[in-house]
Amino acid sequence: MTRVLELDGITKRFGTTLANDDVSLHLEKGEVVALLGENGAGKTTLMSILFGHYTADEGSVRVNGETLPPGKSRAAIDAGVGMVHQHFALAANLTVLDNVMTGTEPLWRLRSDRAAARARLTRLSERFGLPVDPDAHVSDLSVGERQRVEILKALYNDARILILDEPTAVLTTQQSERLFATLREMTAQGLSIIFISHKLNEVMAASDRVVVLRGGRVVAERATRETTKEELAELMVGRAVERPKRPPAQPGAVRLEVTDLHLSGKGGAALNGVSLMLRGGETLGIIGVSGNGQTTLAGVVSGLYPPDRGTVKIDGAELRRHDVPHAIAAGIGRIPEDRHAEGVLGDMTTWENVALERLWAPEFSRRGIVRRSAARAAARHILATYDVRGAHLDGRVGLLSGGNMQKLILGRVLEADPSIIVAAQPSRGLDEGAIAGVHRRLIAARDRGAGVLLISEDLDEVIALSDRIRAIVNGRVSPAIPAERADARLLGLMMAGDWDAAREIEAAADKMPEAQDAL
Amino acid sequence: MSVVLDILSSVGMWEAILRIATPFILGTLGVLLCERVGVLNLGIEGIMTFGAMIGWLTVYMGAGLWAGLLVAALCGAMFGLLHALLTVPLGLNQHVTGLGITLFASSFSYYIFRLAVPTATSPPTVEPFRALEVPVLSDIPFLGPVLFNQTAPTCLALGLVLVIAWVLYRTPLGLAIRMTGENPHAVDAQGIDPIWLRIGTIMAGSALMGLAGAFLTLAAFNSFFPTMVQGRGWICIALVVFALWRPGRALLGAVLFAFFDAFQLRLQTVVDGVPYQLFLMLPYVLSILALVVMARRARVPQALMVPYRRGER
Ligand SMILES: Nc1ncnc2c1ncn2[C@@H]1O[C@H](COP(=O)(O)OP(=O)(O)O)[C@@H](O)[C@H]1O
Ligand SMILES: [Mg+2]
């Protein structure tokens, strides 16, 4: 094996924060190394130093034995290092070709050779199986396609070492699988890869070696074959993380009743006749391959779009008007799938975000005037109770990390004491510690008598939190099975649309006395 | 109605259009460059005033007309540098900085003007650019005078439209400029420093604003008076939106505005009983309407007015 990359004793401080503390790391040719660590562990900082975006306080970077000059992205690019950023560095208004070509030719040339660039891009995208339309505007591309463009950009610069910063944070499960297949193909062609992640499943599945970073230091290094998820989780968090246990449910009165919902064309996939029922004190998990209508279902239940046909009853009553304010007033608490787009307004302050969703409630406004002190008090209470770190009442919410933003949203929802909680992908992008916290809160809310509609792609999460589980396929929901009966095979069948086994289980469960008055 | 037809069919009006349009073409190109690289430049009104003054003064002191244009462009670039230093590395508010530069440059122009000509009551004139009568071509009926009987700065402005369009869309530099206005992080990640690119481009754009001002004194009015720019700079800001940030459309917008202006000037003289202010309003009202229509389709540069700081997320 030849060593293509060596980081040696890297230390980096931001003010008083020690982001990297004497970190050493190496990469062999053709290897996939996972850099594992919780949010804030210093992963992005380390890779930004390697890429010349930051300058290290101490330590050096060697590529193929040559030391890179610090703080020069160009030098890193020329040495064959390519970086796929966590927040893509793309221009939405420009075409794919424009994005890929920027900075690849001498600036003062009188004419850029677009034909040659196009040919080269096409060749690369064929060779690595990354199809893109060079003339498409980036704004018209899906997240997965944008990531492809980012990877192609690196390959176009002749990258031999590819660094991907949390590449799957924005991808669906299938997209992630396809990405890892592509990465394998690349190593077969002689590239070497570091990918950053805090997801144990994908680290186990896609890497050859794992380097665990915690609090800015390397705490362990393992060959992936010789370690387990449990060991890695403990190394990453620094203690054994326990996801909370779910006590048996005490189902109460019916809280949410959805009958024969139809909706086409809004918010993605259609609904083709969804009926389901949710009691207080229980959690109903909805699993499914993304794009089968789960986002639409969450949207309809939380009032975002009115259905074409069918009814939504909350605590026995239909909404007077089908919109978000009425849904929230009726007792819906929404934890949206895309925190940044639908959960908070990043440019507004913490207290404003806390008050906004229920601004018309007497608690937060009176005769059209916002009750600032009450809103600020509520926000202060949430920051303290839900352990939202790094937030200030008057600070911009957009600056919070994902985990803390989610805690704030949870606090806002739970403090309103909703009768139904619609939680869509509640732990997406969060690290282990934060996930455990979110789960604990959702279980506690259920035990206080709320009905929880949990929509998630993460099967472990659904099994851990739900009392009953349904799959959604093509805008229809499967029969519900009790979580105790769930195993990977059965859930797989349900998600594939084969519902015979589930139907039998549901019928058997319905015979039990406590479910008699179900509908 | 026949009045309107008379005006529309007069050679004089069409000949005037390109002349009226020239400062708008230059100014709009200047604003367009600045905004393409991600910085709003509200200094234009003042920079045009200063360009008008310094161009005129240079010629008045005995230098040639081209020297006047050159000095105006250089002074424009210097104001651009000031704006760039305040807004790019320091990241100050671009509205406030730009308005500050407009106030400063306008007053400073008047100050220098008064130092140069302390006593004159009527503004002294200079010998302006004459129309270049292109042989043969300018003799073509109608089209000849309209297109080929223009001054050298007008030709320069038309040429600059082509040059800037070429640079922006055909060269690596232009791509880097456009990318900086969309996402400076992406430019930085490719090893080009967006800070320098912004500073340089703003200077170039501001030089064009200086030229736009100098055209007024050296090819249109022959003398300087402090209020002569009369909001032309603000119109250029609006024209860039109308142009959807593209040089070819900037030319179109400038010509369209000049057409309305030339038209209303002539309408004023022939229509009686209507307050002339109504006619003065015409080009502005029509530009607002055009803006409303066009702005819906605009792809605004995504990083416009967003300061870039390295290593900040
Ligand atoms: N530009 C910056 N300025 C100040 N602090 C920073 C900056 N970038 C990162 N940090 C801090 O350094 C630590 C490591 O951050 P980061 O490398 O982004 O972590 P990770 O990528 O592992 O989530 C965090 O505490 C973070 O707040
Ligand atoms: Mg990171």
Residues from B contacting A (CB-CB < 8 Å) are 170-173, 175-176, 178-179, 182-183, 185-192, 299, 301-302, 310-311, 313
Q: Do B175 and A73 lie within an 8 Å CB cutoff?
A: no
B147 within domain boundaries:
no
Q: Between B73 and B299, whose confidence is greater?
A: B73
Q: Secondary structure of B81-101 in the HEC alphabet?
A: HHHHHHHCCCCCCHHHHHHHH
pLDDT above 90: residue B145: no
A423 and A407 in a single domain? The answer is no
Which residues of chain A are modeled with pLDDT < 50?
Answer: 515-519
Q: Which of A237, A269, A295 is the last residue of a domain?
A: A237
A165 and A211 in a single domain? The answer is yes
Q: Identify all chain B residues contacting A101, using CB atoms and an 8 Å cutoff.
A: 172, 175
A444 and A304 in a single domain? The answer is yes
A336 within domain boundaries:
no
**This model's pTM is above 0.90:** no
B308 within domain boundaries:
no
**Which CATH number is A264's domain given?**
3.40.50.300
Q: Do A99 and B173 lie within an 8 Å CB cutoff?
A: no
| Residue A278 confidence (pLDDT) | 95
Mutate to test the pocket of ligand 1, among A13, A17, A53 (most ligand atoms within 8 A of CB): A17
A270 within domain boundaries:
yes
A434 within domain boundaries:
yes
B309 within domain boundaries:
no
pLDDT above 70: residue B139: yes
Q: Identify all chain B residues contacting A13, using CB atoms and an 8 Å cutoff.
A: none
CA distance A460 to A241: 15
- Sorting pLDDT into bands at 50, 70 and 90, what band is B312? low
**Which CATH number is B245's domain given?**
1.10.3470
Q: Which of A417, A443, A468 is the last residue of a domain?
A: A417
A394 and A455 in a single domain? The answer is no
Q: Between A515 and B152, whose confidence is greater?
A: B152
CA distance A193 to A167: 12
| Residue A471 confidence (pLDDT) | 94
| Residue A516 confidence (pLDDT) | 44
Residue A219's Cβ-count burial label (10 Å; 0-12, 13-18, 19+) is middle
How many folded domains does chain B comprise? Answer: 1
A212 and A315 in a single domain? The answer is no
User: Residue B5, Cβ neighbours under 10 Å: how many?
Assistant: 9
B230 within domain boundaries:
yes
Nearest CA distance, A91 vs chain B (angstrom): 5
Ligand 1 atom closest to the CA of A46, numbered from 1? 17
- Sorting pLDDT into bands at 50, 70 and 90, what band is B311? low
Domain that holds residue B56: 2-118+152-295
Q: Do A103 and B171 lie within an 8 Å CB cutoff?
A: no
Q: What is the ipTM score, two decimals?
A: 0.90
| Residue of chain A minimizing CA distance to B183 | A91
B21 within domain boundaries:
yes
| Residue B142 confidence (pLDDT) | 76
A362 and A484 in a single domain? The answer is no
A370 and A515 in a single domain? The answer is no
| Residue A340 confidence (pLDDT) | 84
Q: Identify all chain A residues contacting B188, using CB atoms and an 8 Å cutoff.
A: 53, 73
Domain that holds residue A390: 346-417
Q: What percent of chain B is modeled with pLDDT above 70?
A: 99
B288 within domain boundaries:
yes
Is any ligand 1 atom within 6 A of the Cβ of residue A41?
A: yes
Q: Which of A417, A451, A468 is the last residue of a domain?
A: A417
A430 and A391 in a single domain? The answer is no
A493 and A509 in a single domain? The answer is yes
Digit-coded pLDDT (tens) for B101-119: 999 999 999 999 999 988 8
A393 and A291 in a single domain? The answer is no
Digit-coded pLDDT (tens) for B67-100: 999 999 999 999 999 999 999 999 999 999 999 9
How many folded domains does chain A comprise? Answer: 3
A382 and A263 in a single domain? The answer is no
Is any ligand 1 atom within 6 A of the Cβ of residue A429?
A: no
B232 within domain boundaries:
yes
Q: Do B183 and A91 lie within an 8 Å CB cutoff?
A: yes
Long-range contacts of B235-239 (CB under 8 A, 24+ apart): B235/B24, B235/B27, B235/B284, B235/B287, B236/B24, B236/B27, B236/B28, B236/B30, B236/B31, B236/B44, B236/B209, B236/B212, B237/B31, B237/B42, B237/B44, B238/B287, B238/B291, B239/B24, B239/B28, B239/B31, B239/B287
B250 within domain boundaries:
yes
CA proximity to B98, closest of B24, B53, B46: B46
Tell me the residue length of chain A: 519
Q: Identify all chain B residues contacting A95, using CB atoms and an 8 Å cutoff.
A: none
Q: Secondary structure of B189-241 in the HEC alphabet?
A: HCCCCHHHHHHHHHHHHHHHHHHHHHHHHHHHCCECCCCCCCCHHHHHHHHHH
A89 → closest Cβ in B172, B189, B310: B189
A338 within domain boundaries:
no
CB pairs under 8 A between A and B: 86
A326 within domain boundaries:
yes
A364 and A508 in a single domain? The answer is no
Digit-coded pLDDT (tens) for B238-275: 999 889 999 999 999 999 999 988 888 888 888 878 88
